[in-house]
Amino acid sequence: MALAAQLPAQLSPQPAAGGGRGGRGAAAGPPAAFVRPPAYPERAPADPAVLERGKAIYGVQCNFCHGSDARGGEGGPNLLRSELVLNDDKGELIAPVVQNGRGEMPKISITREQISDVAAYIHSFKVGGYDVSRMVPLSILVGDAKAGEQTFKTMCASCHSVTGDLKGIASKITDPKALQNGWLMPGGGGGRGPGPGRGGSPFNVPPVTVTVSMANGKKSEGRLVRIDDFIVTLTDADGTQKTFRRDGDVPKVEIHDPLKAHKDLLPKYSDKDIHNLTSYLVTIK
């Protein structure tokens, strides 16, 4: 009795239905069942206008890594089972990650109000069984291929060519979703399983490299392994891993990211641009 008195109300033993010893109650179950709190928070329905805004922003800024159903699998983690997202209310926990970046995730330049809208959209997903959670569209090919061709010429043609590096891309990557995620963020993984490029991407993407220039003029170059405010680690051409301590701008560190142009374009794409470009790229066979 002393233990039961200390338990929270939702975990306190509940008397079994029916009578005393040997009695047959109307409900089956152990004589002292526990009523457990829900595994995931129940949230009040959000305003439809907020959900529409959040959905549009998510489609442009988040979909390519976290998936259209927010379950991850395209380079980003499952948001529905993320402890940070589950504990978030209106974007207050999500905002620092979005605005500052984390790990391989680049920082995204959107306002706190926009993040709040995205959070409301993510929180609207049902978290439960596999089928309950999924919100996969029947097809992502809902854009205008002709408009996508013009967008390609405006935003992509300075670096890519449909008769050069992208020739026959739709024959090599037959899944439209993998193709879309692949061109949005080639290094983030374009589908399930390893691909020829970085991070499981279906595109061939060279790794991020770094040049470390010491005060005495000596330089070290190689593939970037890790960098933070205190150290930078690289692997040189011989396969030797080297770590340098950092003190502000000493030594000088220059990062060479082949995906910088793609990352710079991400905030500029509209949802319509993404759909149109995908519908155009699937025609390049």
CA proximity to 257, closest of 217, 227, 215: 227
Lookup: tokens for 98: 């979005």
CA 228 distance to own-chain centroid: 21
pLDDT of residue 188: 56
For residue 160, count other CB atoms closer than 10 A to its CB.
13
pLDDT of residue 228: 87
Containing structural domain, residue 103: 48-133
pLDDT of residue 8: 40
Cβ proximity of 255 and 208 under 8 Å:
yes
Are 198 and 232 contained in the same domain?
no
Are 199 and 228 contained in the same domain?
no
β-bridge partners, 226: 233
Residue 66 lies in a domain: yes
Are 170 and 187 contained in the same domain?
yes
pLDDT of residue 65: 82
Domain count, the chain: 3
CA atoms within 13 A on the CB side of 251: 22
Tell me the CATH number at 185: 1.10.760
pLDDT of residue 203: 66
pTM value surpassing 0.85? no
**Positions in the chain whose pLDDT score sits under 70:** 1-41, 73-75, 127-138, 187-203
Q: Taking the C-alpha atoms of 111, 116, 117 and 123 in order, what is their torsion angle to the nearest 10 degrees?
A: 150
